[in-house]
Each structure stands twice: as structure tokens, then as C-alpha cells.
Structure 1
Amino acid sequence: MTLPASAKGTVPFGEYKTWYRVTGDLRDSRPALVILHGGPGSTHDYLTSLAALAELGWPVVHYDQLGNGGSSHLPSRGADFWTVQLFLDELDNLLRQLAIAGDYVLLGHSWGGVLAAEHAATRPSGLRGLIVANSPASYPMWLKELDVLRSQLPPGVDQTLRRHEAAGTTDSDEYLQAVRVFYGKHLCTLQPWPREMLASFYEVYNDPTVYFTMNGPSDFHVIGTLRDWSVIDRCPDVAVPTLVISGRHDEVTAAAIRPFAELIPDARWEIFEESSHVPHLEEPERLTEVLSGFLRSLA
């Protein structure tokens, strides 16, 4: 059960707005835990269970990145607008607007972990710790790993996917059904999917502007502007304690996430044996134990 929000609202981001949700009291002595969702182009919904960490003493901030959820939607904007730097600027702005830039921890899931690592590599003075959850350090490396996972799908599934990808018919029902086969193995193994997972999933397709532009028509067919992105060369610049999280059956394979664990100087890696891409939903008790232990260690 998700804890009720202590505050909700929007902060101005230039001429746009960023929606946020706070659980707990940002005036508490412990640093705020800021949650960066995946996508790009998803929403905070599938990560709302992490608000429970506020009960353990860390105020939790969720937000919807620009382009989706409660933040400004800009469907007419093109690829030149939707850049990694835009989302880094939005994060910096949110930290300042909520007056937590002097004392905070980042938890980035999937694309959010890539974004959080880029932010951490600039060595902001108020950052106390970093959690990179289920994130690829290099999209080119990840795409090679995804080809391996695709080859292990039931007979005919990958052939169906590739036929539609080649034809540009990735909006067809047949393609979407084949996508769900992959997602059921490597995105979320729970059946049925939890309500919060479905909420974010539907939000992506209600306004796919950001997701289609930066990622592509599915998590494993990355043909957007992130297809060549990598943070591997940025990892050695991260100067705060870092927790790396992945699932044994994750779409982000061990090889794709390993550079975070090996190249960030003060990093440790926890693999969740019964999870795919969302351990906070698949193994919530252990995830809470691991996160709370890491947060306590930062003191």
C-alpha cells in the first residue's frame, strides 16, 4: 500500500511545469530521497511503493519528468528539444525549487539511473549517495545483450517482432502482443501486473512523444536518440557511495549494468534473484531491506 502524499504540486521549469509528490517532511534531518523514473517518457506511478521509505525516516520525492504524467506535455516538440541535458536541467531545477539541493540522495530506475549517474558525475555538493537500479551503462552494449534475450524467446516471437520492426508496423496488435511476451519475462514477471505498473505503462502510450523520440517503440528496439548514449566514461567521476541494483531476469542484463559496479569508485552491487526489471514490485521486502541498509550507511 502506497503511503499518502504529504504534499503534491508543480514547480516552474522555465515556461513549463514539473509535477512532484512528497512523502514525509523535507525539513527532517535526513536527506531527501529523490526518485527518477524510467522511460524516457514514463511516469512516477510504478515507483510509488518506494514512498514507504518515508516511514523509516527518509522523506521521499517522486516527480514526473517533462512530457508525461502531471508535468507539461509538449507533443509538438521534436528530437532537438528532448535531450539528456533538458532532463538534467529539470532535475537541478526541482532540487532548487524544493530547497533540497544541499542534502539529497538520488534513486534512478532504468533510464532514470542513467540520468542520475550523469548528474552525480558532475559532483554536486549536496549529493550524499546514489542508487542505480536496473539501468544500462551503455545503450550500444545493452542492445547487443537485448539481441541475446530476444533470441531466447519462444519460437516465432522474435521473428514476429523483427518483421514488424522492419516494416515500420510496430503499432500493430500483433507486434504489441509479441512485445508483451518479452515484457512478461524481462520487464515484470508478476501476473497480473500491479495497478501502478499498468498506470505508467498506459501513460507512456497516452502520450508517447518522449518515449518514441528518445527510446523507440519498445524497450528492446531502441532506435531513438539514446541509441548511442553511454555513461561508462562518466562513472569514474561519481564521488559518492553508490548502490547498484539489478534483477537476475532483468531486461538490463548483468553485462549491461556491470560498468556501474566496476567503474564507480565506491559502489556495491545487489542482484535480486527472483526479479526482472522491477525488484521493488517483485521482491519488495528484500528491496526495502537493501535500500534502508544503504541509506543508513550514508550517515
Structure 2
Amino acid sequence: MNTYTNILLSIVSMLFLAACSDKTREENLNLSAYLKDSSLGIKTGGVKMIEISTPKGKFKVWTKRIGNNPKMKLLLLNGGPGATHEYFECMESFLPQEGIEFIYYDQLGTGNSDNPNDPVFWDLNRYVEEVEQVRIALGLDKSNFYLLGHSWGGILASQYALKYQQNLKGLIISNMMMSAIDYDKYADTVLAKQMDPKVLARIREIEKNKDFENPEYMQLLIPNFYTKHILRLDADKWPEPVNRSFSKINQSLYVTMQGPSEFGLSGKLEKWDIKKELPKLVVPTLSIGAEYDTMDPNHMKWIASQVKNGTYLYCPNGSHMSMYDDQDIYMKGLIKFIKDTDDKSIK
């Protein structure tokens, strides 16, 4: 009896080892396919400079691809306006192991892209056309193209989707309300009231005098607003990619679009509002909100109910940069949305 038992155990063991070996081989093949650089010509580590056409000539914008997946390609639109792709570097700790290809992209006037130094280029509709040109150059289409816009990038992503959603497989609106008017109201009636009245009064005084270069302005904002609603960590503990990105903000672009104040919008985007247009969006859409964000989390939840195929991700411990201060929930939710959307498209 023991002989038969030993033989059976040996067979089971061999089958188990063979299965493990097959699984390891499959994982290695998947990893090899993900890491393979299939670009032609001289290899650049995934970097591609893309020529774009504008009403005032041609310029080049910088992109960099991480990974290779023909079904899941995520293009990242950073915020600011005027910051850089660099604060998205946290994605490298999460997306590659899930096989999700993602693409960094510095919008015109930012980071490694050309900077024409002319405010006429800082225009939402022009940026929409820029994204479309980038999409075409990268070979993205409705079979693989996911677009994530964070903050100002959320405005750009949603506006792009309203015009070009036929090219999208999935849309992610991260930490951005769909109305500058509602955002202003939330900043004034909710966020401002959470601040020490004396501090708020001094901030308002500086803003009234348009004394934005006064070092006291940031000295008040950092501990009383930034570390409470932008990224909920002590300022000296902010992640290096965030600091690096924010240190490179194109101030001309930022002020032209956003305005100089940190409480609401006063630039070109002051009256931006697409709430009534949201039902036109039929592409699978994920809206991401956070409890301590500068954006109303209830509004972010509402977005998911207005689009035709919406999902809401709530980050209970997060703020505006919830990909850092509520990282586990943010990344798991983002990955789940992309994979669920991919699974549904197969069926």
C-alpha cells in the first residue's frame, strides 16, 4: 500500500512541479513581451519626440513609453496647468507588474517639450487637438487607448473625450470637477472655512493686493492649505517626483489658465463647465475623488452617475495627489478599472 501511495505522491509532485514550471515560463514570456522594445531604428528607451502642428507653426512634444501591451495603453495628462509628467513616476511601482503599458507626455510648454513662450498657445481647444495628434503619432485607438487626466489634465481629458471619444477604450478623470464654477464655490464655502480665520484673512489680503510674489503667501499656503488638501504629508516629506515636477511649473501657462490664486479659477478656465454635456460620454469612464481633495468628492461621485458607463473610485485618506497619499486604494482602483474594461471589451 505504501508503495502505491509513494508512486501517487510522486506523480502528483511531478505534475505540480510541471505546472509551476509552465506558469513560470508563461510569466517570463509575458515579462519578455512587456519589456520588448519593438520600435524601429535607434532605441531611445521609449522616448519619442512628436511633431505637432499649431496655428502658429510646428513644435515637438516629448513622450516616453513604459512597457508594451497592445491591448492596454495608458496616456497620462498631468495637471498644473504647466507641471510635468514627473509626478506620475509613482506609476512605475504599480503598472508594469500588471502588464499595463503607460506613456508619459509633457504638454507643449512644459517639461521636455518645446516651449514657444507665447500665451496664445495656452488654450484648451488647442491642447485638445495636440492630444489628438499625439494619439495618432503613438498609434493609439479604441482597441487599446486609455486616457488619464489628473487635475487640469482632467479638464483636458474630458474635453478631449467629448470630441474624440470614438478613439478611446477608457477614460479616467482624476481629481477634477467638471465645472470651474462649482469648484470656485466649493473652495469658498468649504475649503476656506476649514482654515484659521486669521490666516485666511491674511491670504485674502495678499490676493486682493495681487501681491502673489510675496514670500509670505506661500509660507501661509503650504502648512494651511497644501499639506491639508494638495498632498497630506509634511512639506519636507513630499515625494521627490512631486517636488521635481512642481518646481518646473510653467508660470505663464499656470497663471493664464488657472489664475494666480490658489482658491478657485480666475484665468481662461474661470467659466469652464461641461456638466450638461456629460451624458454624451458613452466610453467607460472612471472618476476618482478623495475626501480631503480641493475637489468636492461628492461631485466626483456624481460624475460617474452622469456618464453612460461610469465608475467611481473614492480615496478616503487622499487629497488632490491621492496617487501618493492614498496610494494603495488609488492604484488598485485604477488597475481594476483598466482590466475590467479590457475584459468587457473581449466579451
TM-score, length of structure 2 as denominator length: 0.79
Deviations 1:45-98 (A, max 9, x none): 1111123313211110110111111111132x13x4321111101100111111
Give the equivalent residue in structure 1 for 2:248. Answer: 203
Q: Which one-letter code corresponds to 1:119 in the other structure?
A: Y
Q: What secondary structure, in the 3-state scheme, does the structure 2 residue paired with 1:136 have?
A: coil
Q: In the alignment, does 2:148 pair up with 1:97? A: no
Q: Which one-letter code corresponds to 2:138 in the other structure?
A: L
Distance 1:114 1:252 in 2: 13
Distance 1:138 1:118 in 2: 12
Q: Which one-letter code corresponds to 1:161 in the other structure?
A: I
Deviations 1:246-281 (A, max 9, x none): 110001112443442221121121211111111111
Cα displacement (A) at 1:283: 2.0
Cα displacement (A) at 1:144: 0.7
Distance 2:243 2:60 in 1: 24
Distance 2:228 2:290 in 1: 11
1:261 to 296, 299, 304: 304
Q: In the alignment, does 2:191 pair up with 1:149? A: yes
Q: In the alignment, does 2:79 pair up with 1:34? A: no
Cα displacement (A) at 1:43: 0.9
Give the equivalent residue in structure 2 for 1:11. Answer: 50
Q: 1:219 to 1:66 in 2, by over 3 A?
A: farther
Q: Which one-letter code corresponds to 2:178 in the other structure?
A: A
Q: More helix per residue: 1 or 2?
A: 2
Cα displacement (A) at 1:29: 2.8
Give the equivalent residue in structure 1 for 2:102. Answer: 60
Q: What secondary structure, in the 3-state scheme, does the structure 2 residue paired with 1:285 have?
A: helix
Give the equivalent residue in structure 2 for 1:171. Answer: 213
Q: Which one-letter code corresponds to 1:236 in the other structure?
A: P
Report if the CA contact (8 A) 1:107-1:131 is conserved: yes
Q: In the alignment, does 2:111 pair up with 1:69? A: yes
Q: Which one-letter code corresponds to 2:243 in the other structure?
A: L
Give the equivalent residue in structure 1 for 2:39. Answer: none
Q: What secondary structure, in the 3-state scheme, does the structure 1 residue paired with 2:163 have?
A: coil
Q: In the alignment, does 2:133 pair up with 1:107? A: no
Moved more, 250-259 or 93-102: 250-259
How much identity, in percent, do the aligned residues show? 30
Give the equivalent residue in structure 2 for 1:227. Answer: 270
Q: Which one-letter code corresponds to 2:140 in the other structure?
A: I
Distance 1:255 1:282 in 2: 19
Q: Which runs of 5+ in 2 are unaligned?
A: 1-34, 36-43, 343-347
Q: In the alignment, does 2:80 pair up with 1:45? A: no
Distance 1:45 1:156 in 2: 35
Report if the CA contact (8 A) 2:51-2:60 is conserved: yes
Q: Which runs of 5+ in 1 are unaligned?
A: none
Deviations 1:121-177 (A, max 9, x none): 224333111111100110011001001201211232211111011101011101111
Q: What secondary structure, in the 3-state scheme, does the structure 2 residue paired with 1:203 have?
A: coil
Distance 1:8 1:95 in 2: 15
Q: What secondary structure, in the 3-state scheme, does the structure 2 residue paired with 1:105 have?
A: strand
Q: What secondary structure, in the 3-state scheme, does the structure 2 residue paired with 1:298 have?
A: helix
Distance 2:177 2:104 in 1: 21
Q: Which one-letter code corresponds to 1:174 in the other structure?
A: E
Report if the CA contact (8 A) 1:139-1:226 is conserved: yes
Report if the CA contact (8 A) 1:118-1:234 is conserved: no
Q: 1:240 to 1:115 in 2, by over 3 A?
A: same
Give the equivalent residue in structure 1 for 2:8. Answer: none
Give the equivalent residue in structure 1 for 2:27. Answer: none
**Bigger-Rg structure (1/2):** 2
Give the equivalent residue in structure 1 for 2:202. Answer: 160
Q: 1:118 to 1:259 in 2, by over 3 A?
A: farther
Q: In the alignment, does 2:161 pair up with 1:120? A: yes
Report if the CA contact (8 A) 2:165-2:281 is conserved: no
Cα displacement (A) at 1:285: 2.0
Q: What secondary structure, in the 3-state scheme, does the structure 2 residue paired with 1:212 have?
A: helix
Q: What secondary structure, in the 3-state scheme, does the structure 2 residue paired with 1:164 have?
A: helix
Q: In the alignment, does 2:85 pair up with 1:85? A: no
Deviations 1:202-222 (A, max 9, x none): 111xx3111010002244242
Q: Which one-letter code corresponds to 2:176 in the other structure?
A: S
Report if the CA contact (8 A) 2:149-2:174 is conserved: yes
Distance 2:165 2:275 in 1: 19
Alignment length, in residue pairs? 290
Q: In the alignment, does 2:294 pair up with 1:248? A: no
